[in-house]
Amino acid sequence: GSRSAQQGAAAGDGSAGGAVAHTPSTEDFSLSLLDTNLPAEAETELRSFIAKRLSKGALFEGMGNVASVGLSIPEGKVGCYYCRFQQESLLEMATLESDINAPEYVVCFLGGSEKEDTFRLELDKYIQNLKINLDLEQKNLEAFVSPYLRSWFEDAICPIQRVVQLFQDKLASLLHAALSYTPVEVKNADERTEKDISRFLAAASLQGLVQEGTMTSLCIAMTEEQHKSMVIDCSGPQPQLHNAGSNRFCEDWMQAFVNGAEGGNPFLFRQILENFKLKAIQDINNLKRFIRQAEMNHYALFKCYLFLKNCGSGDILLKIVKVEHAEMPEARNVVTVLEEFMRE
């Protein structure tokens, strides 16, 4: 079945939906609608789109996809995130007894932008949570499933935007903490704000983009540092930060977020965040290249120093390469010299 729900969020373009597909062992399946807030005509079009994808076998269990869909709604073409899944309990039974034809579901979320792809991982997690809590009884559908699906835009897409609006010019310190893996402690915040800050830090960190061992060593190094964690006190209207760090790189990117806040588009904020991480990774790779050259060339060592001085994020980059090159004597010597230069 196909299911959708319109969400009048700040951007005014969120829609949510889900579908149930009874998939017998034959090629046939039927789609029966569970819940939607799309107009009838658009719902039929969405159901047809999902049916085509299902018939091609293009939907893998628990993995979301994003596509552009043309529907009979004012926006016309919208970004559609769709994900097929089964209840956790039924999935376990189905693996034990292969002849069980457990109902399967397809959830669709519609937004005014194809850039929903930038939130695919968050939406996959959102569906995972639904899977765990799903109970097919009608009361569960009304009490949990429908409200849960209708709040997808606020819960999965808007946290980054809310953090930008809350922190404003203090956002540079949050970006700095995410990049340097400084532990962050949040005090006197409501549950949603605490979750939002935690999601922002996870989205802004380089987790998965630099080596796993580097991350672990960095986390240990940052925790052992004198300042230990950065403290965010949310008891007032504006968060107060203690033991906060910052640098020119993070301040420049903070400006990009603050400028983007006027449009109020959550997809734009996510794109800025991805660009921020991409630039940080490029800088790390450039510095590593210079260090390799500097092992044999004093002029390259000076180039390393100039790069660190001018990139705006020398303090963090030096920590990252120090951790990565700990086991390489020549590179370690270069990093030690650079640390001395930077201190002076």
Task: Report the alpha-carbon distance of residue 87 to residue 104 in Å, rounded.
Answer: 8
Q: What is the pLDDT along the chain (344 residues), one digit of tens a residue?
A: 333 333 322 223 345 555 444 443 335 678 888 888 899 999 999 999 999 888 887 778 888 999 889 988 888 888 899 999 887 666 666 556 555 567 788 999 998 665 557 788 889 999 988 887 776 555 677 778 888 889 999 999 999 999 999 999 999 999 999 998 888 999 999 999 999 999 999 999 987 666 666 666 666 666 666 557 899 999 988 999 999 999 999 999 999 999 887 767 888 898 899 999 999 999 999 998 999 999 888 888 999 999 999 999 998 898 888 887 777 888 888 888 888 888 88
Contact 267, 115 (CB under 8 A): yes
pLDDT score, position 73: 86
Contact 220, 326 (CB under 8 A): no
The ranges assigned to domains in the chain are: 40-88+102-138, 166-343
Task: Report the alpha-carbon distance of residue 172 to residue 119 in Å, rounded.
Answer: 22
34 sits in which H/E element: strand 30-35
203-208: long-range contacts at Cβ-Cβ below 8 A with a sequence spacing of 24 or more?
A: 203/160, 203/270, 203/273, 204/174, 204/175, 204/178, 204/179, 204/273, 204/276, 204/277, 205/178, 205/179, 205/181, 206/179, 206/277, 206/280, 206/281
Among candidate residues 72, 76, 64, 75, the one with its CA nearest the CA of residue 109 = 64
138-147: long-range contacts at Cβ-Cβ below 8 A with a sequence spacing of 24 or more?
A: 141/34, 141/35, 145/18, 145/34, 145/35, 146/5, 146/35
pLDDT score, position 57: 78
Given the DSSP bridges, would you call strands 184-187 and 230-233 parallel, antiparallel or unpaired?
parallel
